[in-house]
Amino acid sequence: MKLKIAIFISGRGSNLENIIHAIKNNKLKNIEIVCVFSNKSNAYGLEIAKLANIPTILLESGHFGEERKKYEAEVLKLLIPFSPDLICLAGFMRVLTSDFISQFPDKIINIHPSILPSFKGVDGQKQAYDYGVKITGCTTHYVVPEIDAGKIIAQASITTENCDDEKKLSAKILKAEHYLYLYTLEKLSGGDFESLKEEGWKERILIN
């Protein structure tokens, strides 16, 4: 039985693309993407999903303004038919309420671009760059109502070597994110990590 995941995005969907790519290449053998959900109609990730013949759901959050619960009730209605085992936030830029989260206890995960608990909230990469850390990275964790505070699943660290601007640092963290998300899905689906060993990223990285 494969683990059925729904991926939530708001933008380019680079982690989504990486997961699709991995599955196509016979990695993540225990994972099936049942749908991709976006709260933004211009999210490029929707195109990526369509090209891969993955069902997409679009529900613009903008129209709902502050009516978060009403919005989430609609999301739930659209999502339930796909009966996902796990909801994977991947650049999903909307905070979920505890009402929504309680519908999927320990079944919503997120990736954050820092070694939590450092640099919670928006722009974890910029926060790290501005602080002047020598090591940073990314974290996958369960989603709880408090932002970036849920139980940690896995983390990856990288050095800030050769990152003389914030853009370079963000790009390096993003590569680590790609690797960490695959690692996390292998971990949660009982995978053997074997296929990840072929991953081409040559930068030094520490993952656990």
- Contact residues toward a copy of itself (CB under 8 A) are 115-119, 131-135, 137, 139, 151-161, 204-208
Q: Which CB, 63 or 134, lies closer to a copy of itself?
A: 134
178 is catalytic: no
Q: How far is CA 191 from CA 27, 151, 172, 187, in A?
A: 9, 20, 25, 6
Q: What's the min distance (Å) between Cβ of 59 and a copy of itself? A: 34
Q: Which CB, 30 or 160, lies closer to a copy of itself?
A: 160
Cis peptide leading into 84, omega within 30 of 0? no
Token pair of 25 as six digits: 């290449």
Strands 135-142, 108-112: pairing is: antiparallel
Q: Which CB, 29 or 120, lies closer to a copy of itself?
A: 120
Q: Which of these is catalytic: 21, 112, 141, 178?
A: 112
Q: What's the min distance (Å) between Cβ of 204 and a copy of itself? A: 6
Q: How would you class 20 by CB atoms within 10 Å of its CB: exposed for 0-12, middle for 13-18, buried for 19 or more?
A: buried
Q: What's the min distance (Å) between Cβ of 40 and a copy of itself? A: 31
Enumerate the active-site residues: 112
